[in-house]
Chains A and B, each alone.
Chain A
Amino acid sequence: MNPTLHAARLGLSRGWIEFKQQLTTPQDLGFTVVSTVAFAVVLYFQRDATLPGTDLPLAAATLPSLLGLLIPVNGLLGAVGSLSVEREDGTLLRAKALPQGMIGYLVGRIVSLSFSTVASLVLMLVAGLFFVPGLFGIGLGNWLTIAWLTVLGLLSALPLGAVIGSLAGSPQTAAGMSMLAIGGLTAVSGVFYPITALAGWLQALAHVFPLYWLGLGMRSALLPDAAAAAEIGGSWRPVETTLVLLAWAVAGLVLAPPILRRMARRESGSAMEQRRHRAMQRVT
């Protein structure tokens, strides 16, 4: 029995168990339901507007962009949140006390976060059916594009979330900073309104980050080809999309292991105790 593989398999079952726990925990479920409803409301208000330059309903263009947004919202915020909380409650230390426990922990987290991201994408798609009829007639190739984008999106979001969660001093800072970052990016990445309406330098900024490309990719899969006319350069730019997302994934996967290892090495009962002590002082 290879111990590393054995621990990875334990991580798979761990991830599945924790995903099921999320489904039965009202707070977790509540967050997903509330955000889905909020997005559905956005789609509702966009039902009469059309995508500039086409006669497509604006909602039809926003829905795929929202799908793109859900990947970092679930993957990155989820990784940041769980890592920073689990450093504080001792889950990480528990993993450290087990042989190959860290492998089991990380695989478990990747699995549970991937499942919850996919679940929230499915939920959004179902909600989208009410506002964007004909959504499911897109053909196998486009479904594969969605799957591929989801995988790439998770590969770029999860390691980045792990890095932020490892470096942050407290769960509050971690959550606050990453919420702010995602909020800011959402505003400039053409999620709720076409990016072409923004100033040039904001467009350039959005091009650096995965969010714009995830939205673009999702639109390319879910919208008719004619809608590409409304995009920058009048094209879906699939090659650029793949390259930018791959670059982020590679950067995250290179950076995350040493940062995670450094964080794990420094983890100890007294470090945990100190953080808890600070947390108590914040409360009182």
Chain B
Amino acid sequence: MGALRELTGGTDIGETAAAIEARGLRMAYGQKEVLRDVAFVVHPGEVIALLGPNGAGKTTTIEILEGFRMPSAGHVRVLGVEPARGDERWRARLGVVLQSWRDHGRWRVRQLLEHLSRYYEPYADPGRTPLDTGELIEAVGLAEHAGQRINRLSGGQRRRLDVAIGIVGRPEVLFLDEPTAGFDPQARRDFHDLVHRLSDLDDTTILLTTHDLDEAEKLADRILILAGGRIVADGSPDRLAREFSRDAQVRWSRDGEHFVHATQDAVGFVRDLLDQHPTGIGDLEVRRATLEDTYMTIVKGEEA
């Protein structure tokens, strides 16, 4: 008995090495099952994009991980702690950016960021001092608006402030629920740079939801697709593309006419094509399935 307990203790230490861990996660509202059996692991420093159709349970999953919502059943750990029992010290290691926030409209940008950053002071690790609020305002592109009242910011500026507040405590795990909704292309690019910096320089573990597949592909080391209450795909964008849609599209033109052909063996097909028509082939293009194609295939397969 003693040996067994020791053994389980040992495996527990192995498990806490994951930044986020979910097994058999279920969530039901009355009769309606939102999450049936969600399971995934996120390693420290990974950037994960959680994709899925509206109503698939992305926000519910994130809220359970943030400790804002109790799951119906399942094993969930964030930084080795069950979120529903997480204490304030645990809370200080997380960053949270929710979908929509309209709070503190009368505060000024710098004033609020400085005030909120001070809550993390008692928990600051000597090796992980809180971010300088001035630099952070600069980094999210709000330097010009630092003295402005928050209710006068545009939607995109407001969102960038939310992101700044989410990372001001220099979190080890950061949750971003649709962080770039309403961003213009420049703001989106700046935000992507910021995420890269957080992940590269600070080794922050990031879990984000988005509807922008291009964004998911650019940011994420790994993509999780949530559909029908389960994780139906889990892998790097490349791996997902190879696993779920092997077809590539070959486009070419001959004598001014354009052709398209879908094939699993693009190399063989192009070789035959060039053998048959040694001259006259132009505009040759081989396009592998994009993440969007893959996503559509997976989600359609799930809904069918």
Query: A residues touching B (Cβ–Cβ < 8 Å)?
Result: 1-3, 6-7, 10, 13-14, 17-18, 21, 25, 86, 89-91, 93-94, 96-101, 104, 267-270, 272-273, 276
Contact = CB atoms under 8 A, between A and B. Distances in A.
Nearest to B97: A97
Interface stretch (B10-18, B117-125, B135-143): B117-125
Contact of A10 (B59, B69, B119): B119
A98 B116 contact: yes
B249 interface: no
Contacts of A97: 66, 91, 94, 96, 98
Given A269-B68, A270-B59, A99 B102 contact: no
19 contacts: A2-B122, A13-B115, A17-B107, A18-B106, A25-B106, A86-B103, A93-B68, A93-B103, A94-B103, A96-B68, A99-B89, A99-B91, A104-B119, A267-B68, A268-B63, A268-B68, A269-B99, A269-B177, A273-B99
Interface string B17-55: 000000000000000000000000000000000000000
Contact of B115 (A17, A86, A93, A100): A17
A91 to B, nearest CB: 4
A270 B100 contact: no
Interface residues of B, number: 34
> Looking at A89, A97, A98, A272, which has the most chain B CB atoms within 10 Å of its CB?
A97
A112 to B, nearest CB: 11
Contacts of B100: 90, 269, 272-273, 276
Contact of B123 (A3, A86, A91): A3
- Tell me what chain A mostly uses at the interface: helix, strand, loop, or mixed: helix
Contacts of A270: 59-60, 63, 69
A272 B102 CA distance: 11
Contacts of A93: 68, 98, 101, 103
B92 interface: yes
B254 interface: no
A99 B99 contact: no
B104 interface: yes
A17 B111 contact: yes
A183 B120 CA distance: 43
Interface of B: 59-60, 63, 66, 68-69, 88-89, 91-92, 94, 96, 98-107, 111, 115-116, 118-123, 165, 169, 177
B101 A90 contact: yes
B272 to A, nearest CB: 54
B103 A99 contact: no
A272 B94 CA distance: 21
B91 A98 contact: yes
B122 A269 contact: no
A2 B165 CA distance: 23
Nearest to B119: A98
B121 A1 contact: yes
A44 to B, nearest CB: 34
A25 B149 CA distance: 12
A100 B103 contact: no
Given A17-B107, A90-B100, A97-B66, A6 B59 contact: no
A91 B104 contact: yes
Given A3-B88, A97-B98, A273-B100, 19 more contacts: A2-B122, A6-B119, A13-B115, A21-B107, A89-B103, A89-B105, A90-B100, A97-B66, A97-B96, A98-B91, A98-B119, A98-B120, A98-B169, A99-B88, A99-B120, A100-B119, A268-B63, A270-B69, A276-B100
Given A99-B91, A99-B120, A269-B63, A89 B98 contact: no
B86 to A, nearest CB: 10
Contacts of A91: 103-104
Contacts of B66: 97
Contact of B121 (A6, A13, A94, A273): A6
A98 B98 CA distance: 13
- 6 shortest interchain CB distances as A-B pairs: A99-B92, A91-B103, A3-B122, A268-B68, A97-B96, A90-B101
B98 A90 contact: yes
Contacts of B111: 17
Nearest to B118: A10
Nearest to B68: A268
A21 B103 contact: no
Nearest to B149: A21
